[in-house]
Amino acid sequence: SQTIHQWPATLVQPVGSPLSLECTVEGTSNPNLYWYRQAAGRGLQLLFYSVGIGQISSEVPQNLSASRPQDRQFILSSKKLLLSDSGFYLCAWSAIKEKLFFGSGTQLSVL
């Protein structure tokens, strides 16, 4: 069966510090991978999606970046965090294009 791992579950970081969130998927090959951010009152905002290794589509201008170094690994990064980067970050994968399977999320607080 397929599983998705996302860590850490919670993270508190000072403004200006770097960020690295990792997501891995098991039990499937060549999945589509997604990063969403959930902020209060803003719903699920699509940040990045990837249809293959090294292929990243960015949806929102920001100081975040994403990379896919391996088929089932998706990394969200920032060189310098802003207060506005606080939120609940969700990684998701799909095999059938429409059905998303979400990870358990990372609650990021930038102070």
Q: Which is nearer to other proteins, 13 or 45 (CB)?
A: 45
Q: Contact, 33 vs 20, CB < 8 A? A: no
What's the min distance (Å) between Cβ of 34 and other proteins?
7
Instruction: Check binding of 104 to other proteins (CB under 8 A).
Output: yes
Amino acid at site 15: V
Closest CA to 89 of 2, 4, 3, 7: 7
Compose the 33-52 pattern: x for residues touching other proteins by CB under 8 A, - for all others: -x-x----xxxxxx--x-x-
Backbone angles phi, psi at 84, to 5 degrees: -70, -5
R_g over Cα of the chain: 13
Instruction: Check binding of 32 to other proteins (CB under 8 A).
Output: yes
Q: Which is nearer to other proteins, 67 or 94 (CB)?
A: 94
Instruction: Check binding of 53 to other proteins (CB under 8 A).
Output: no
Site residues for other proteins per CB under 8 A: 32, 34, 36, 41-46, 49, 51, 57, 59, 90, 92, 94, 97-100, 102-105
